[in-house]
Copies of this chain bind each other. A is one copy, B any other.
Amino acid sequence: MVKTLILGTLGLDDVETPFGKVSGVQGGSCSYASMSASYFTKVGIVGVIGDDYPQGHKNVLVSHGVDISGVEQVDGGKTFSWGGKYEGDMNSAQTIFTELGVFENFQPIVPEAQKGSPYILLCNFDPIQQNNTLKQMSKPKISILDTMNLWINIRIDALKLVLQNVDVVVMNEGEARMFCKTDHMQEAGQMLLGLGLKRAIIKKGEHGCLMFSQTGDYFVAPAYPLLSIKDPTGAGDTFAGGLIGHLASVDATIDADEEWRRAIIYGTAMASFTCEGFSLSTLAPLTRERIDERYKLIRKLSYIPNIE
């Protein structure tokens, strides 16, 4: 049975970085997040593709145990497609093109059998559709929402509405700055909790992330120090997938502070793998053993000895 439902995009990416160039590769928030979560939990995904979407891309997901019965295929439609380029310190992509394709008129429908999934991740997506998806669920135990600057710009009211209905938000620093109208991440975090969110996670890229919680637990998490980043596309989605994956795997409640800290470090570990190669090339061949090894390495690198 599906334990974790993930809504997001399935896409075809053209990506160029100082390390190379790929075209038509498997991309989209849902691909990264679901594969990442698949190492921890049984995942079902909701998304849309055109009939140009390669069978091989589906197979990769299915071979990771991902239930794709919630993926709508539009005959004659074109799959969502994105082209981007990274330069210099590779902290942000320059978008070359975005073709919405079948994604433009997409109305997510959660399969009947998956409406009871206790864990739900709403990847970066139109907040109106994030909310519509959430409404089809029968009281999930934990719901996590990711978003991006585009929706803060053009759908701020819908975004505020859906934020009232989820437990946790994940934003990067730039988005938090925009949404909370402050440069101070401590203020931003408190403001997000003030909206009623149980937890707010602010990602700072190579500087790790911060988790603010209604329980009072405040977590300053490190990043995994990568010697070289080949392609950061999907790192945020991979992080969110690892996060919800771990939570689902231990049946975590929203108040389980230690599990949330573990979930963040698992998310961090998963994201680091994604950055080491193009598309899903480094994420797809992982083992739970290698993931746990990286978890332990991150823990060791940032270990602070006690005093006294």
Give chain A's interface residues, CB within 8 Å of chain B.
88-89, 183-187, 204, 207-208, 210, 218-223, 225-228, 258, 261-262, 265, 292, 295-296, 298-299, 301-308
Contacts and interface: CB of A to CB of B under 8 A. Distances in A.
Contacts of A308: 292
B183 A210 contact: no
A302 B221 contact: yes
A220 B308 CA distance: 22
29 contacts: A89-B183, A184-B227, A184-B228, A186-B225, A186-B226, A186-B227, A187-B227, A204-B207, A207-B207, A208-B222, A210-B225, A219-B301, A219-B302, A220-B222, A220-B225, A220-B301, A221-B304, A258-B305, A261-B303, A261-B304, A261-B305, A262-B305, A262-B307, A295-B307, A296-B307, A299-B304, A299-B306, A302-B302, A303-B304
Nearest to A291: B307
B265 A304 contact: yes
Given A208-B222, A220-B225, A221-B302, 5 more contacts: A186-B227, A218-B301, A258-B305, A262-B305, A262-B307
A187 B226 CA distance: 10
Tell me how many chains of this kind the complex includes.
2
A88 B177 CA distance: 13
